[in-house]
């Protein structure tokens, strides 16, 4: 497994409280990935040794870049017209990004407003392999933790996550139709409403 990251040596901070979440859509996706092929995977969460170990079961070129701190720093520094041409490699500081087969968004999309989500999706689509997949958890609750969680893959069908302390904020609570409209170039491949109140999505690049 080849690893490309500015943050790969960093584990997440001390957990506030670790919880478990089922991931049936990810389990269905994972069985489609063939061991004999080499994949390009982008993980947009905090670097995790447990996730690195999980990905190592495949031949893959792995990119890691924590999306939320990067995108909010970019937004604070850029003019509106610069945001329209948001470049994912420049944003994440990763060279050689392209032909992505799998992108792990975790719960990050909940923390992007509609404008940023559309801009991010447009840039991401440019670096996807046709037929590549994007995995995400979207909350259906009115409120959500103030910062995204650190996720750890326990098995394809189960993950653990922890949120840092920091209270709650209003959640965008994107309905599926609106989410699909904002993510131009992607189609919903699978959607599962989980008992936790999270909607698990697998999108496919068109």
Report the SS3 class of residue 188.
strand
Q: What is the pLDDT of residue 12?
A: 40
**How far lies 100's CA from each of 44, 77, 178, 202, in Å?**
13, 27, 24, 14
Gyration radius from the chain CA atoms:
16
* Residue with tokens 């495949």, as numbered in its chain: 58
**pLDDT interval class at 5 (50, 70, 90):** low
Q: What is the pLDDT of residue 3?
A: 61
Length of the chain: 206
Residue 191, number of CB atoms within 10 A of its CB? 15
| pLDDT, tens digit, 9 for 90 and up, residues 47-106 | 999 999 999 999 999 999 999 988 877 777 665 555 556 688 988 989 999 999 999 999
Q: For the chain, report the end-to-end CA distance as a whole number of angstroms.
A: 27
Q: Is the pTM of this model over 0.85?
A: yes
| pLDDT, tens digit, 9 for 90 and up, residues 153-169 | 999 999 999 988 779 99
Q: Which residues neighbour 79 within 8 Å (Cβ) at sequence distance 6 or greater?
A: none
Beta strands in 51-125 (DSSP E): 59-64, 100-106
Cα 94 versus chain centre, distance: 16
d(CA 16, CA 14): 7
């Amino acid at each position: 497994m080849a690893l490309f990251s500015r943050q790969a040596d960093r584990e997440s901070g001390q957990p506030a409280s670790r919880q478990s979440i089922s991931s049936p859509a990810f389990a269905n996706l994972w069985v489609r990935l063939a061991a004999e092929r080499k994949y390009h995977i982008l993980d947009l969460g905090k670097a995790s040794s447990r996730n690195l170990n999980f990905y190592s079961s495949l031949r893959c070129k792995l990119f890691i870049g924590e999306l939320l701190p990067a995108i909010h720093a970019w937004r604070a520094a850029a003019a509106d017209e610069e945001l329209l041409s948001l470049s994912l490699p420049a944003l994440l500081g990763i060279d050689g990004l392209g032909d992505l087969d799998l992108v792990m968004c975790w719960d990050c999309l909940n923390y992007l407003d509609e404008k940023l989500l559309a801009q991010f999706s447009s840039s991401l689509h440019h670096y996807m392999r046709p037929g590549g997949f994007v995995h995400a958890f979207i909350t259906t609750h009115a409120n959500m933790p103030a910062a995204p969680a650190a996720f750890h893959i326990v098995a394809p069908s189960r993950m653990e996550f922890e949120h840092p302390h920091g209270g709650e904020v209003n959640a965008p609570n994107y309905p599926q139709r609106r989410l699909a409209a904002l993510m131009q170039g992607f189609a919903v491949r699978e959607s599962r409403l989980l008992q936790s109140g999270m909607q698990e999505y697998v999108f496919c690049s068109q």
